[in-house]
Every structure is written in structure tokens, then in C-alpha cells.
Amino acid sequence: MRSKSLIAILMSFSLAACAGGGGGFGGYSLVQPKARAVANGKMTVTPPRPWNRVPRSYYDIAEEENWTLNGPILDSIGFIAALKDGKAIVRQRRKEDRQVPVFRSNMTPPEIVSMIESLYRIRGGAAEFAMTGLKPATFLGRQGYQLDYDYLDQNEIKRRGRSYGAVIHGRLYLMLLDATRMHYFEHALPDFETMARGAVLRS
């Protein structure tokens, strides 16, 4: 009963978002394999093959953009660019019991990881989340991090993720690949790596 009404609510929001966002009828739009500004135009990535841009949902923040190859349940890449101090990586109500922690410009890498982990636990229903790697990495030409993680989603599907990110002039920039551990993660990883390596900051 509840899920039905929720789906109805989500649909009405995404339709409204489509109408306003120019994402085309149905919302998904093709991303051509050439340099493209993403996430409010704050960074440029170059996909090695065509991807699909996911229509904006009610829960998306202005600073993000999401792509998929086979549908977001199987694989997706999220981009967040120039997120300000004090903002969360997801849209949420101020009085929500459970809230994804807000980004702080002085966050240490483990704190950024735990912010991402809370997103999965609170919004993704992940009961099990394991960081499998966190190491320094260059992203957008700056010192940043590479995070790897595995988790079990609310549908009991084993998933895997990788994220590159950096805090530049006090703002958060990140890319995040999220896919099923079986097949789709490995399948999308080369594209993700290519895009992350070639990502360029736009002023």
C-alpha cells in the first residue's frame, strides 16, 4: 500500500522535473562520446562511448548529474561538482529523523567516506557497507582520494562502488560508479576510469 503511493509520488516529481529540466520526453537523454560539461557545468568529462543521462529526481541536488548504461538499477555514474560547505549530497528535509551528513570543507578523507556511507545506509537501505579501499589519488588535477566499497542494497543485491573525489577551494567534486557486483561493475569500470582520468575542472 505504501509503496504504491510512493511510486505515484516519485513519478509525479520526476515528470515535473522532466518538464522543467528539458530532459526530453521520458527523461533519459543520450550522451554522445565527446567532451561534455556535467553537474551544473562545473566539470567536463569525455565518455568513450554513448551513455544515457538519468532524468533528475526530486531527491537530486542542483550540483549533481547521473548517467547510466543499462539503467540505474544495474549501473550508474554520479557526478557532483562544486558542492558548498554545509550542503548535503542529497536533497532532504530539515526535520527528517535520519539525515545524510552535510559536506564540510575541512572534511578528512575518512569523513567524506562516512558521508557517502550514510547516503547508502539512509537512502539506499544498505544494511551492510564495507569500505574495501581508500587511497590518495589525483582527481581534476588535484590531490584527492579513490574510494572502493561493497554493499548489500535493500533488494538484497550485492553492489560495488568506486569514487574519485577532491575538495577544491573548499568545494566538493566527485565521481561515483555504482553497479551490481555481478557483471555490471566490471563492465562499466573502464569507461568510468577513462572519464575520471580525463575529467577537467571548469571555472
Q: Which residues of the shown chain bind other proteins in the complex (CB under 8 A)? A: 1-3, 6, 10, 54, 57, 59-60, 64, 66, 68, 72-73, 76, 78, 80, 85-86, 89-90, 94-102, 104, 106, 108-111, 113-114, 117-125, 127-136, 145, 148, 152, 154-158, 176, 178
- In degrees and rounded to multiples of 5, residue 68 shows phi and psi of -150, 155
Helix, strand, coil abundance in the chain, percent, nearest 5: 25, 35, 40
**Rounded least distance, CB 50 to other proteins, Å:** 18
> Is the CB of 46 or the CB of 105 nearer to other proteins?
105
Question: Closest CB to other proteins among 113 and 140?
Answer: 113
SS (H, E, C) 119-144: HHHHHCCCCEEEEEEEEEEEECCEEE
Q: Which is nearer to other proteins, 91 or 187 (CB)?
A: 91
Give me the least distance between CB of 108 and other proteins, in Å please: 5
> 3-state SS string over 17-69?
HHHHHCCCCCCCEEECCCCEEECCCCEEECCCCCEEECCCCCCCCCCEEEEEC
CB of 142 to other proteins, least distance (A): 14
Based on CB atoms, which residue is closest to other proteins, 72 or 203? 72
Q: Which residues are CB-neighbours of 174 under 8 A, at least 6 positions away?
A: 78, 79, 80, 139, 163, 164, 165, 166
Shortest Cβ distance from residue 48 to other proteins (Å)? Answer: 21
Q: How far is the CB of 162 from other proteins (least distance, A)?
A: 13
* R_g over Cα of the chain: 16
In the bound state with other proteins, the residue whose beta carbon lies nearer, of 178 and 191, is 178
